[in-house]
Structure 1
Amino acid sequence: MSFTVSAAEPLQSPVGVGIIGLSARGGWAARAHVPALEALKGKFELRALSASSAESARAAGQKYGIPLAFGSAEELVRRDEVDLVVVTVKVPHHRRLVEAALHAGKNVLCEWPLANGLAEAEQLAGLAARAGVRGFVGLQARASPALRYTRDLVAEGYVGEVLSTSMIASGGAWGPTFSSGSEYLLDRDNGATMLTIPFGHTIDALSTVLGEFTETTATTAVRRPRVTNAETGESTTMTTADQVAVTGVLETGAVASVHYRGGSSRGTNFHWEINGTDGDLIVTAPSGHLQLVPVTLHGARGNDARLTALAVPDTYEWVPSTAGRSDEPGYALAHAYADLHDDLTEGTRTAPDFGHAVRRHRLLDSIDRAATTGERFRLDP
C-alpha cells in the first residue's frame, strides 16, 4: 500500500509553528525542538503551544516567550498563525492529536513512532493524503551530518560492493531500572518500546545509508520481566522486549545483523560495521539512540592497514549555529527541520513523510511477526 499527498501551496518563511506538548517543566520538546527551531530563526517562528491545562500552557508561554498558549490541542490547531503543528507527546496520544491537526487542514510533524502500530500509521497517512496537507515524521537520525556523509561514502564506492553490515547497540532504557514517569515504556501495548523507539530510529538510519530490508528474521525476548523504580525501589512488570535480534537481507543483497539490548553495557553501547569488497566503515556512538548522540566515523579501504578517523566535511553542516554541538539533543533535529522547511516552502520531498513512516512501521511489524512465528518475512524494498 502506498500513499501520495497532493501538492499543497508552498508556504512563506518564516513557517509558523505550534507545538503540542511543550511544558515549562522541561521534556523533549523543550530540550530538542525549541533549540532546533531557534537555530533556524528566520525559517521558522514558534508562535503557539498547548499543554495539559490552561495553567500549564500559560507557564510555558511565559518561560519560552511564545505568544499563543492553549490548554488544549484543539484550540491550537484552529489558529491561522500556525502553519505546522508539531506533536511531541507520548505515543498513545499521537493518533488523536495528529487527526485533530489534519482535520483542521494543518501540516504536521509527529514524533516517531508515528502511531501505535502499523494499522494506525496507515490510517493517518491516508487521512493526510485526503486532506491534501504534508505529514512528516521525526526520524531525524538520517539528517545527521555524519550519517549523510556515511551514506555518500557508500554511494561513491568507498567500501566497494557492500557485503554485509553488523550492528550491536544498547537501548539505554528497558534495563533493570526505570525512572518515575517512564512507566508507560514498560508496557508493549503503548507502542513506545525499544523496538519502536531507539531501534526504529537507528534502523531508519541504516536503511538510509545501505538500502531497505527485503527479508527479515528475528528473535525477541523479555529477559527482565520485573524491573525496579530507581527512585522508590518498587518493582513492576515489564512486557516489552529488552532483547531484539534481527537478521535480514537488504535490497543490494547485503546481509544485515542487528542486536539491541535493554539498558546499558559496560562494554559496547553502539558499534556499526559496514563491510565491503574494498573497504570497511565503522560508526560508533555512546548509545543506541542514534538520533540523539554524537557519531564517530572511521574507515579503511584498498591497501590501508588500519582504520583512520574520517572527519565530516563542513559542507554537511546545514545549520551553522549547531556546528560542533552534535552532543546536544536538538542537533540532528535542527538538520531535519532544515529539510522539512525546504519541503514546505519549495515543494521538495526530502524529509521523511507519513508514507515513509508507514514503510518503517511495516518493517517493525514484520520483525515483530517474525519473532512471534519464527518465519522469514519478505518485504518490498
Structure 2
Amino acid sequence: MGAKIRIGLVGASVSGTWSSRAHMPALKASEEFELTAVCTTKPESAEAVRKTFGAKQAFHDVNKMVTSNEIDAVAVVVRVPSHFAPAKTAIEAGKHVYCEWPLGKTTEEAEILTALAKKKDIVTAVGLQARACPEIQYMKGLVEDGYLGEVLSVHCHVVRDGVLTRPSHRTWQRDITLGANSLTILNGHTLDALQYVAGAIEKISAIVDTRVSNWLDTGRNETVTVTSPDHIFIQGQLCNGAPMTSHTAVIPFAGSGYRMAIYGDKGTLVIKGDDSVQLTKLSLFGAQGNNTLNEMVVPDSLNLVSAETPGGEAFNVGQMYSDFARSINEKNQYVPSFSTAVGLHNLIDKIQSASSKRAMISVQI
C-alpha cells in the first residue's frame, strides 16, 4: 500500500454528532486515510477534536484548511444548509471531496457543485453509504446474476419513531426549505438503495404529507411549528417494467424499522433491519423455488474496512472511505459521486411534484 491520503474534515466534534459517531471513528481506523486536519468554528473545540481523534492539525477557518498543501481530500460533514460553501472552496482548491447527503440544500446547489467538480477533474463522493453495505451489495449481485429470474415487483418501507420531540440542536430540521428532513434523508437513502439494487425508477405518483405539525423542543420545553414532511408514500414503475412501492415515515411510537422485498418469477429476496437502511445492521433472506426464506451468508470479500472499524453507524461510512480511496488511487469511480447525488435530488423534486399535482409523472428525462 502506498502513502495514506491526507484528509481534512469540516464539521468535526468530540461527541453527539454524526461526524463524531460515524466519520471520525471510521477515519481513525482507516488503512487508506490519514486524518490530517479537523475544522470547527472555534479554536478551542477544534483543538479538543484534534486531541480526541489524533489529527495532526486543528483549524477554525475552513478556507485555510481546505487550501493547505498538506491536505489531499476534504470531508464535508456540517449541517446540510452549510454544505455548499466548504465543498465549493475545496473543489476550487483542487481537493477530492466527500460530502454528506444531501449534497446541497437545493438541487441547484448540487448541480453547481457537480459541474465545478467535473471542470476541476477531481474525485467526488456523496454520503449514500447504504450502497457500501455488504448485504446491499450482495443483494444487488444476486439480482444481477438472475437469482430472482424476472423481477415482478419491489416493495420497501422504513418507519422510525420519535416524531413528537427534538432536542434543541435538531429543531432546525423542522423547516423544509433547509433541505434536511424525512423526504430528503430517510426517504432519499431508502430510494437510493432501492434503485441501486433493483434498477432505476421510471415513473411515480406520491403523497408527501406532514402529519405532525408541531414538535416539542425538549431543551427549551416549547412547541415549534413544523413544515418538514413525515410521511412519504410512493408507487410507481421501474424502467424494467416492475411496479414498485415505498413507504417512508416517522411516527410517534414503536417504529417497525426497514424492509425491502424484491419478488421475481424464480424467487424472493428480503433485506431488513431495525433502523434506516444506511444506519442499521441488515440481514438478507432468500427463497428460490420454494416458500421458505432462509438467511443468506454474505461473502467476507465485501467487507473492505479494517478490523478496528467499529460496527454500527461508522461501518458503512468506513466502507465508503475505502471505496473513496480506491477511486482516488485508481482514478476511477467506485463510490456514489456528485452526479449520483444530482440524480437523487431530481428524483426527490419529482416526488414533491407528483404529490402536489396528484398525478403519475415521468422521472426519466
Q: Distance in 2 between matches of 1:283 and 1:75?
A: 44
Residue 235 (1) aligns with residue 219 (2): no
Matched with 2:281 is 294
Q: Which moved more, 1:260-269 or 1:21-30?
A: 260-269
Q: Distance in 2 between matches of 1:15 and 1:198?
A: 31
**Shift in CA distance, 267/121, structure 1 to aligned 2, threshold 3 Å:** closer
1:140 is aligned to: 129
The CA deviation string for residues 82-140 of structure 1, in whole angstroms up to 9 with x for no partner, is 11110000000011111111121211110000001211111111111122222221111
2:346 corresponding residue in structure 1: 362
Q: Which residue does the alignment assign to 1:101?
A: 90
CA 1:36–1:239 in 2, change beyond 3 Å: closer, same or farther? same
Q: Match of 2:355?
A: 371
Q: Which ranges of 4 or more aligned residues in structure 1 deviate by more than 4 Å?
A: none
Q: TM-score, normalised by structure 1?
A: 0.92
| Pair 1:23-2:8 in alignment | no
Matched, 1:329 2:313: yes
For residue 296 of structure 2, what is the aligned residue in structure 1? 310
Question: What is the alpha-carbon distance in structure 2 between the residues aligned to residue 361 and residue 342 of structure 1?
Answer: 25
Distance, in Å, in 2 between the alignment partners of 1:368 and 1:231 is 32
2:79 counterpart (85, 90, 99): 90
What's 1:53 paired with? 42
Aligned 1:1-381 pairs, distance under 5 A: 13-41=3-31, 43-172=32-161, 175-263=163-251, 265-266=253-254, 268-287=256-275, 289-302=276-289, 304-321=290-307, 326=311, 328-380=312-364
Counterpart amino acid of residue 297 in structure 1: L
Residue 123 to residue 172, structure 1, CA distance change in 2 (3 Å): farther
Correspondence for 1:5: none
Distance 1:296 1:180 in 2: 34
Q: Which amino acid aligns with 1:217?
A: S
Q: Per the alignment, do residues 265 and 208 of structure 1 end up closer, same or farther by CA in structure 2, a change over 3 Å counting?
A: farther
- In 2, Cα distance between the equivalents of 1:297 and 1:158? 13
3-state SS, counterpart of residue 148 of structure 2: coil
RMSD across aligned positions (CA): 1.8
Q: Deviations over 1:178-233 (max 9, x none)?
A: 12210111110110010111211121111110111111111011111112124443
1:332 aligns to what SS in structure 2? helix
Q: Distance in 2 between matches of 1:335 and 1:341?
A: 10
How far the C-alpha of 1:265 sits from its partner, in A, is: 5.0
Q: Distance in 2 between matches of 1:63 and 1:146?
A: 32
Amino acid at match of 1:44: F
Helix, strand or coil: the match of 1:248? strand
Matched residue SS, 2:89? helix
Q: Which amino acid aligns with 1:278?
A: K
Deviation string for 1:336-356 (max 9, x for gaps)? 111111110011212111111
Distance 1:192 1:37 in 2: 24
Unaligned runs of 5+ in 1: 1-10
Name stretches of at least 5 consecutive residues in structure 2 with no aligned partner: none
- Provide Cα deviations, 1:68-94, integer angstroms capped at 9, x if missing partner: 111111110111111111000000001
Distance 1:267 1:14 in 2: 41
More deviation in 260-269 or 114-123?
Answer: 260-269
Q: What is the aligned residue count?
A: 365
The TM-score, its normalising length taken from structure 2, stands at 0.95
